[in-house]
Structure 1
């Protein structure tokens, strides 16, 4: 991670077969799909990538396969773990497999600012100079990191090259971070991209989010970066109903994987157990949302 990361870094899904095995062939087709639809890079082994359901060996296999298929395009690997020893082992192995860097969120159980600072000091002592994305996602981790704490982490640890900011309200926190940081780092945002327009207005480098239509995320970023702000808003609004429908935690991941299956990116929409399964009524809801999206795109000539 030798320069700023910017553009769309898709939070990639982990494809499984209907029987629950990792589907490496679908990793290939999904990787191609993401880059064909405007991704600048990928983030694998994230929360939405069902990383917690993978063994260490499976995690390494998935990263290696994405890296090989990406053919030189950047792949960031999530390595968050309550065990620093396991985190360090995975970080070493994914970097040896060719990852561009790692993403690390604080583990549940950290209660004070001092806890957070001490945790990352221990992590970086173990992993060394590995380029790192600091993930601030308190609604997943249960750990709230203040702007001054994040600023101290960035100042103390040059390994931190980017921040994935997912606290809410994200736009307000991004503005405070820009004012507080002692050096420039890229700020990318998640939360399924639902606040992307406001976050772009606060100067983020791009979205780090998943969506079954990644061309919207990349297209909005491209338009906004070119100064075509109204066009970016218009494009975003066309997809907003379906985007909101996917923004429902792990159940939303099931919706997203169904969308990717329908678009030919993966062979099966299965999530590894324990995980939600869509009902016939859910599939009808998706049918309607997709039909309305296609109608809106046709009417807009998009």
Structure 2
């Protein structure tokens, strides 16, 4: 079940669950995957940037990916394989594809500056992992400091048939989506799936610009599924109303350096994670931050009962 350029819906970015002692929490992996299966997700991405992948040993990465792939059942699983060198990227790719992954996600190193360097990097990455492996192009300039213009994405898609999806995380980025869909409309670029990140902060209008869904890790992925579904059904105002109700918590969770702690805390409160632990180095939530998140949840529960969590 390989990833294709026609993937749609929501591929939640799965956090890697840990116990307080830093060990991997396999029971929470199973609960998470069961939740994704039940909430309307159309795929899952594991070992992403906020999956704490750099904190895992290679064997742990394989174990986490294997368990998630086995538990995912019918859902395609994309595995983040970004690495400083191609040898480790190739090794991880080969192992997870043998385990049944649908494809891999590759982020650019922050040393790339020119369009030629960016295209050249992805050309070499495909040479390393194999042209038969579908890959997701991660475009997140706010974190990676690599500016991918619509033109450079056009070149990558044109030169590398195994590029089947763009993880769109530019900000502002709505015009980029429009430009890419215009390339497709005029026949100068083949169709690729566009799933959006940035915690879903702009998902409401990204869908209207031509995105196919979301690929992010917000603590209510079921809401993301609903917004994508409502948008696809043409229920514009219902999609915006639901999105607007979640926007304060979305914004709070998107804080750099603090967002993963918030996400794991809420997912623990929802019963999806045993605890909110991150593997060190990690930023802990203060008592004040927890009170603020609880306040946000209480306010959200007035509009979405899924946020009404028992104490």
After TM superposition, the score normalised by the length of structure 1 is: 0.96
Confirm or deny: 8 A CA contact 1:207 1:217 kept in the other structure: yes
TM superposition shift of 1:180 = 2.9
1:121 equivalent to 2:123? Answer yes
Cα distance in 2 for residues equivalent to 1:124 and 1:75:
19
SS of alignment partner, residue 9 of structure 2: coil
Contact 2:45/2:80 (<8 A) preserved: yes
Distance 1:179 1:297 in 2: 36
Q: Residues 91-240 of structure 1 correspond to what in structure 2 (within 5 A)?
A: 91-128=93-130, 129-181=132-184, 182-240=189-247
* Aligned twin of 2:39: 37
- Aligned equivalents of 2:103, 2:280: Cα separation in 1: 28
TM-score computed with the length of structure 2 as normaliser: 0.93
Q: Does 1:284 align with 2:291?
A: yes
Q: Deviations over 1:31-79 (max 9, x none)?
A: 1122222211101111111111111111111111110111131110011
Q: Is the CA contact 1:212–1:260 (under 8 Å) kept in the aligned structure 2? A: yes
Structure 1 Cα separation of the partners of residues 236 and 45 of structure 2: 26
Q: Where does the alignment leave 5 or more consecutive residues of structure 1 unmatched?
A: none
User: Aligned equivalents of 1:88 and 1:108: distance in 2?
Assistant: 19
| 1:252 counterpart residue number | 259
3-state SS in 2 of match to 1:57:
helix
Following the alignment from structure 1 to structure 2, what is the Cα–Cα distance between the partners of residues 82 and 5? Answer: 28
Confirm or deny: 8 A CA contact 1:147 1:180 kept in the other structure. Answer: no
- Supply the distance in 2 between the matched residues of 1:288 and 1:24 (Cα, whole angstroms): 30
Distance in 2 of aligned mates of 1:197 and 1:37? 19
User: What value does the CA root-mean-square deviation take over the aligned residues?
Assistant: 1.2
* 1:143, distance to aligned residue in structure 2 (A): 1.2
